């Protein structure tokens, strides 16, 4: 017996899937009809198949027609609609898959073989961003490129993106030997002729960074090494300062010593109006990068991220592990929202910024609307085949020290000096006039060196408040 499918969306993508199923009986599938919210299609027939109702009728239609599977064929569907359809499919006890996005359809005819399971990134409510590749070939081809934090989730993806554009040499710097070993082996398999050099080193060692600048002579530097876990940095402010601030200063020194053409630092939306130690440390790092620009020939710029889906230690892998264990899934606050992007988007944004940046900018990916964390948790539970709350409990733990209810991508003053493109926002901020950066860094470094953790934390939080007011 053929499997019966219900197509949600009677637009071009849905019709193409229906035509594909009809043209290929070997698929052993039968289309029962469409669901579509266009009132003009109510009761109509498309390609000889009935429009059985709107998306709100999914449960009723599933009970009446008994389909085996639903195909969501609305490539431009916003995140809330996708998440709503997942809930309805779950309520109807109906398996579901997704038709590829508009960009994939344009690249090649949509076929049933392209229909795939729903992935966490589909819950973003937008198509992932494909950035321009042409400027990258001229920037990276035949150049010496260094990536710090090369073994991390984003650092390793930056290495993959860079490798595609034929650098003369790709240098992988990190202090975790196992992760560097893994990305080196992967790149040697995928790019066997590429000149790859791994370097085990700590960015906090300024002397070592200066030596590597002279020895390796990178032309392009991507600085992805950082501590990012907010609660840990609240507990260990010395590490936040020494790694995120002093370490960034050391990489800046490396780039200057090497005579590099460009250096790009990875930052975070938590640096905007920072409320905690981690955000304050990354804001200070942004200021170091901003000040370094103009002190020599090297162009320095920053890229500001939201949360990166599926990166190590991020919320999606945590939720999935909790679901696999049977729960509970822990959410900080029912009202909390975050901006999300994929690892590929994050790495492409960094590489794109290095090609477009003239120096002194902060680049931000246009990530659309922020997503409620509770809604994301419920959708991931549905994706895993369970009923939220009933089968997998959700617990609210409260915001942890240093966390905000809602993140922002830029301050008001930054918005006044921004360029808003379709895919990228480019900020050209200025250094705060009333901040003596050298004196501040000297004072903080002394506290970190003397292990005065509580005093250092208070100073960073006070500084975070003042930076939020000024910028």
| Residues forming the active site | 270
Question: What tokens appear for 176 in the block?
Answer: 């975790």
Q: Which residues contact 338 (CB under 8 A, 6 or more apart)?
A: 306, 307, 315, 370, 371, 373, 407
Tokens representing 178? Answer: 């196992």
Q: Give Cβ neighbours of residue 327 (< 8 Å, ≥ 6 apart).
A: 392, 393, 394
Least Cα distance to 459 among 45, 442, 1, 219 occurs for 442
Strands 307-309 and 337-338, how do they pair? unpaired
Distance of alpha carbon 413 from alpha carbon 3, whole angstroms:
57
Label the pairing between strands 49-50 and 45-46: antiparallel
CA dist., res. 344 & res. 158, Å (int): 8
416: three-class secondary structure by DSSP: coil
Give the 3-state secondary structure of residue 83. helix
Phi-psi bin for 162: left (phi > 0), alpha (psi -120 to 50), beta? alpha
DSSP 8-state secondary structure symbol assigned to residue 367: -
How many other β-carbons are positioned within 10 Å of the β-carbon of residue 131? 20
C-alpha distances out from residue 7 to 14, 35, 56, Å: 6, 6, 14
């Amino acid at each position: 017996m053929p499997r019966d499918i219900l197509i949600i969306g009677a637009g071009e993508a849905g019709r193409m899937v229906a035509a594909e199923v009809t043209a290929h009986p070997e698929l052993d599938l039968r289309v029962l009809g469409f669901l579509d919210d266009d009132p003009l299609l109510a009761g109509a027939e498309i390609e000889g198949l009935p429009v059985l109702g709107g998306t709100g009728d999914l449960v009723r239609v599933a009970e009446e027609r008994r389909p085996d599977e639903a195909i969501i064929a609305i490539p431009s569907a916003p995140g809330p609609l996708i998440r709503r359809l997942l809930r309805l499919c779950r309520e109807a006890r109906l398996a579901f898959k997704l038709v590829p996005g508009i960009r994939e359809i344009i690249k090649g005819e949509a076929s049933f073989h392209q229909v795939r399971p729903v992935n966490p990134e589909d819950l973003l409510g937008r198509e992932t961003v494909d950035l321009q590749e042409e400027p990258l070939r001229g920037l990276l081809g035949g150049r010496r490129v260094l990536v710090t934090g090369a073994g991390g989730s984003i650092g390793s993806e930056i290495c993959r993106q860079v490798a595609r554009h034929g650098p003369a040499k790709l240098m992988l710097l990190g202090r975790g030997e196992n992760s560097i070993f893994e990305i080196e082996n992967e790149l040697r398999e995928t790019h066997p002729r590429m000149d790859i050099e791994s370097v085990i080193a700590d960015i906090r060692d300024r002397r070592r960074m200066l030596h590597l600048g002279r020895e390796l002579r990178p032309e392009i530097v991507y600085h992805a090494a950082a501590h990012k876990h907010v609660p840990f940095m609240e507990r260990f402010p010395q590490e936040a300062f020494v790694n995120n601030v002093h370490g960034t200063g050391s990489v800046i020194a490396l780039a200057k010593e090497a005579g590099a053409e460009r250096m790009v630092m990875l930052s975070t939306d938590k640096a905007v109006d920072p409320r905690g130690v981690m955000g304050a440390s990354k804001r200070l790092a942004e200021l170091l990068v901003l000040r370094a620009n103009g002190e020599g020939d090297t162009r320095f710029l920053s890229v500001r991220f939201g949360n990166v889906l599926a990166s190590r230690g991020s919320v999606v892998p945590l939720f999935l592990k909790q679901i696999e264990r049977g729960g509970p899934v822990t959410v900080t606050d029912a009202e909390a929202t975050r901006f999300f992007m994929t690892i590929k988007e994050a790495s492409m944004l960094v590489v794109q910024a290095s090609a477009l940046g003239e120096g002194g900018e902060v680049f931000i990916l246009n990530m659309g609307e922020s997503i409620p964390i509770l809604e994301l948790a419920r959708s991931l539970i549905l994706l895993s085949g369970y009923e939220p709350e009933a089968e997998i409990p959700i617990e609210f733990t409260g915001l942890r020290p240093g966390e905000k209810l809602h993140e922002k991508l830029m301050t008001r003053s930054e918005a006044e000096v921004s360029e808003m493109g379709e895919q990228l926002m480019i900020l050209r901020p200025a250094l705060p006039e009333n901040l003596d950066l050298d004196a501040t860094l000297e004072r903080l470094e002394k506290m970190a060196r003397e292990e005065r953790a509580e005093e250092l934390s208070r100073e960073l939080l006070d500084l975070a408040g003042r930076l939020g007011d000024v910028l």
